[in-house]
Amino acid sequence: MTGKPSSVAIEAHELTRNFGSFTAVDHITFDVGVGEVFGFLGANGAGKTTAIRILTGLLAPTSGTARVAGHDVYTESERIKRRIGYMSQKFSLYEDLTVGENIRLYGGIYDLTREQVRERAASMLARLGLEQAVGTQVRALPLGWRQKLAFSVALLHAPSIVFLDEPTSGVDPITRRQFWELIYEAAARDTTVFVTTHYMDEAEYCDRISIMVSGRIEALGTPAELKERFGVGTIDELFVRLARPTAGATS
């Protein structure tokens, strides 16, 4: 699962974003390979959301460079938007629309043809075991199903990269496990997965992780590498140490 990426999906170099005198993202440099599951960790307010907004084309950086799916974040945000999928912790589906209506809406937004939407919806619902629920309003589905559905809908237009912003917050452990199976399936189809999470056990599932502290990336590597380099037993321990530098020695 680990190893150097063969080709690059996301590359960021000295990427910086200021809000007035506050530096939300401070010269971060990293790259993510095609088909990689990249864990983007950090405490609240560390700058994760700002970084994701830059990479998804919602926010222009102040300085530095970044390419997403081969497109420049300064000049080609429209192209980037067609190549990425996005799912936030807030489910991203319309609760008062049915499963089928949600799928058709997103298919339409990404310019899929009617046939494409029908085919992909059918195979997606079969995979999730949700064929019976196509006419059900999303609000009536259990939380775990909604989350899996939201993820699958984010992949409907076959994006090369999918951004997941704390996709499993508030979900029970079994559903979280199933959700990660979906993530691995997507990665196996060469979809790059860029995921933020607060669950440190999930960080262990990632190919590589980065840990952001106060706008900077303080650690970057495979979970095994990082544990060895910092001499800690778990990513959880490492995270706490980095997020609170006074509590332990950092290099």
Partner 1 sequence: MSAFTGLLRKEWLHILRDRRTLFVVIFMPILQVVLFGYAIRTDISGIRLAFVDPSPDASSIELRNRFAATDAFRLVRVLPNAGTLDRLFASGAIQQAVILDDDFANRLARGLPARVLVVADASEPNSGSAMQSYAVAVIQGFQRELAARGGGVQIFAESRMRFNPTQASSNLFVPGLIAFVLTIISALMTAISLTREKETGTMEILLVSPLKPLEIIVGKVLAYVVIGFVSVLLVVAEARLVFSVPLRGSLLLLLGEGLLYILTSLSLGILISSRTSSQRVAMIGALAGTMLPTILLSGFIFPIESMPWPLRLIANIVPAKWFVIIARGVMLKGVGLDYLWRETLILLVMTTLLVAAATRSFRIRLA
Residues forming contacts to partner 1 in the complex (CB under 8 A) are: 56-60, 78, 81-82, 84, 86-97, 101, 104-114, 117, 137, 163
From the CB of 98, what's the least distance to partner 1, in Å?
A: 9
Question: Cβ distance 150 to 138 under 8 Å?
Answer: no
Q: What does the angle CA 69 – CA 74 – CA 79 come to, to the nearest 5 degrees?
A: 40
- Choice between 151 and 230, CB closer to partner 1: 151
Give the rounded distance of the alpha carbon of 88 from its chain centre.
8
From the CB of 108, what's the least distance to partner 1, in Å?
A: 3
- Choice between 4 and 78, CB closer to partner 1: 78
C-alpha gyration radius of the chain: 18
Write the single-letter amino acid at 239.
F
- Choice between 101 and 225, CB closer to partner 1: 101
- Choice between 118 and 177, CB closer to partner 1: 118
| Distance, CA of 120 to CA of 187 (rounded, Å) | 18
- Choice between 29 and 136, CB closer to partner 1: 136
Number of separate helices (H) and strands (E) present in the chain? 9, 10
From the CB of 237, what's the least distance to partner 1, in Å?
A: 32
From the CB of 246, what's the least distance to partner 1, in Å?
A: 34
DSSP state of 137: B
| Distance, CA of 36 to CA of 188 (rounded, Å) | 9
From the CB of 176, what's the least distance to partner 1, in Å?
A: 19
